[in-house]
Amino acid sequence: MAKLTKGRMAPDFTLPDQEGKERSLKDFQGSWVLLYFYPKDDTTGCTKEACAIRDEFPKFKKMKAVVLGMSADTTASHKKFAKKYHLPFILLSDTLKKVLKKYNVYGKKKFMGREYRGILRTSFLIDPKGRIVKIYEKVKPALHAEEVLGDLKVFQK
């Protein structure tokens, strides 16, 4: 799959959320969208990232931005994760990894000298017309929400 770039239309998809409801990216056209991909529910970095976004969520809402988190975890895992940490945003389940691969965020990773395939912590900021305006790679979980909000302010001027 070719790497997505800034300026391209974000590929549409339909996946179940933590409640089992089917959600499509096109359903959010007309809003800004932070689409963030993370490796695994209830792990240290992923929890930090989700909670940082949760803590800043009122600012995302005020800026008319939708937050969509995505991993290969099941809807049941997402539901438990969202409930445990009071996450007010949508978590999408891509157990077959089709969307992860379409967005080129499933690939080689290295940890303690071992190579394996997994989800690369990456986010896409998508404008109301569905165009990718920024791609965040190698995201720092605790600082990501603030970084995206700063960029949203710039893009919304």
Q: Which of 130, 128, 123, 126 is nearest to 146 (CA)?
A: 123
Which residue in the list 25, 35, 46, 52 is annotated as catalytic? 46
Q: b vs e for 62-96, b when ≥16 Cβ sit within 10 Å of the residue's Cβ?
A: eeebbbbbbbbbebebbbebbeeeebebbbbbbee
SS3 per residue for 8-69: CECCCCEEEECCCCEEEHHHHCCCEEEEEECCCCCCHHHHHHHHHHHHHHHHHHHCCEEEEE
Q: In the structure, how many helices (H) and strands (E) does the chain have?
A: 4, 9
51 assigned to active site: no
Which residues are known to be catalytic? 46
